[in-house]
């Protein structure tokens, strides 16, 4: 009898240990870590953040220090790792400081677009009826304009500058957030646990903020990660067109714009800045795909 009790206790402990091991293996971080492409994207994102935060320590020169005599130097010449631009400014230092602009615009526009889009999506999805129709017709009107044209229109009205660029890109991303949140709210609000919470007397505000929003936030996180890559591209595009960051502030888009005029004589200017934009966008897209695989139950293998 005692042996049976001991065996059952050991079996229970072994089963509990197995469950804990399985939970650790299936945790979000471990799933993400097993995805090699997602980890590559995470490494690129972390390196970009480090470069942006520690720009003064990483940069080898003042990014705005001009010397016409040193214009168009090739990479590696006279201590300039990436060479110099048309004004003799160190290209490596300008690339490093330009990462700050990319991070600020990407994060800021994501917060702006996410905040507005989530509120619109929650209100439209939860209330339905006329409120839903009015809100979504506003979203449809915004979606009727290509994002780049809407961004150009806003920048033309508001003027150039970091704050205006961030707001313009964030405002253009509102329809994506609103549609995702609205669709998820329509699904979640009709589930049994929401009906039980209503029966218990919870207010609509409490139901939305404490129960519905946490169940749709995973989709928002995935979309936010992917939209960061789009925000970086939009910022570079607007700066390239002269509607984004005002010179002489270092921005990957303005560097690319300057390199456009000297593609034959100094191709390294446009090539290097374009490569940094490309690598960053690919990195955040890989990270976003990995996070989607982890958080979206439909993507589980």
Condensed to tens digits (0 to 9), the pLDDT of residues 245-275 reads 887 888 888 888 888 888 888 888 889 999 9
CB 82 within 8 A of CB 268: yes
pLDDT digits (tens, 9 = 90+) for 205-233: 888 888 888 888 888 888 888 888 888 88
pLDDT score for 230:
86
Between CA 284 and CA 103 the distance in angstroms is: 12
Between CA 189 and CA 204 the distance in angstroms is: 11
Between CA 156 and CA 148 the distance in angstroms is: 12
Residue tagged 């100094």 (tokens): 266
pLDDT band at 22 (very low <50, low <70, confident <90, very high): low
pLDDT band at 17 (very low <50, low <70, confident <90, very high): low
CB 126 within 8 A of CB 202: no
Between CA 125 and CA 219 the distance in angstroms is: 15
Q: Where are the alpha helices (DSSP H) in 1-128?
A: 2-25, 28-34, 36-53, 55-58, 91-127
pLDDT score for 301:
45
Between CA 285 and CA 289 the distance in angstroms is: 6
pLDDT digits (tens, 9 = 90+) for 61-92: 888 888 888 888 888 888 888 988 888 899 99
Between CA 297 and CA 301 the distance in angstroms is: 9
pLDDT score for 28:
65
pLDDT digits (tens, 9 = 90+) for 28-43: 667 777 888 888 989 9
pTM exceeds cut of 0.85: no
Residue tagged 């897209």 (tokens): 285
Residue 10 has pLDDT above 50, yes or no: no
**What is each CA distance from 108 to 145, 242, 246, in whole angstroms?**
22, 20, 18
pLDDT score for 111:
92
pLDDT digits (tens, 9 = 90+) for 166-203: 999 999 899 999 999 998 888 888 888 877 878 777 78
pLDDT digits (tens, 9 = 90+) for 87-133: 889 999 999 999 998 889 989 999 999 999 999 999 988 888 888 88
For the segment(s) 40-299, the CATH number from 1.10.1740.10, 1.10.150.120, 3.30.360.10, 1.10.3720.10 is: 1.10.3720.10
Structure tokens at 145: 């304009």
pLDDT digits (tens, 9 = 90+) for 125-164: 888 888 888 888 888 888 888 878 888 888 888 887 888 8
- Residue-range domain boundaries for the chain: 40-299
Between CA 293 and CA 301 the distance in angstroms is: 9
Beta bridge partners of 84: 90
């Amino acid at each position: 009898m005692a042996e049976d009790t001991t065996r059952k206790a050991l079996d229970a402990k072994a089963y509990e240990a197995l469950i804990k091991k399985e939970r650790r293996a299936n945790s979000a971080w471990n799933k993400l870590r097993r995805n090699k492409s997602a980890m590559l994207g995470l490494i690129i994102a972390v390196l970009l953040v480090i470069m942006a935060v520690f720009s003064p320590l990483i940069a080898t020169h003042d990014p705005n220090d001009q010397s016409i005599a040193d214009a168009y130097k090739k990479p590696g010449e006279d201590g300039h790792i990436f060479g110099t631009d048309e004004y003799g400014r160190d290209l490596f230092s300008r690339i490093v400081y330009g990462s700050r602009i990319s991070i600020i615009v990407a994060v800021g526009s994501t917060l702006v677009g996410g905040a507005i889009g989530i509120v619109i999506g929650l209100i439209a999805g939860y209330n339905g009826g006329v409120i839903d129709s009015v809100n979504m017709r506003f979203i449809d009107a915004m979606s009727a304009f290509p994002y780049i044209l809407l961004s150009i229109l806003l920048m033309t009205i508001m003027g150039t500058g970091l704050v205006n660029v961030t707001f313009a890109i964030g405002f253009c991303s509102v329809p994506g957030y609103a549609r995702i949140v609205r669709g998820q709210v329509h699904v979640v609000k009709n589930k049994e646990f929401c009906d039980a919470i209503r029966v218990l007397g919870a207010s609509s505000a409490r139901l939305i903020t404490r129960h519905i929003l946490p169940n749709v936030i995973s989709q928002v996180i995935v979309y936010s990660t992917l939209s960061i890559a789009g925000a970086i591209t939009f910022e570079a595009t607007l700066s390239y067109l002269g509607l984004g960051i005002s010179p002489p502030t270092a921005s990957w888009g303005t560097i690319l714009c300057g390199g456009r005029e000297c593609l034959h004589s100094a191709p390294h200017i446009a090539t290097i800045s374009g490569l940094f934009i490309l690598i960053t966008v690919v990195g955040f897209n890989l990270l976003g795909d990995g996070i989607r695989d982890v958080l979206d139950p439909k993507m589980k293998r």
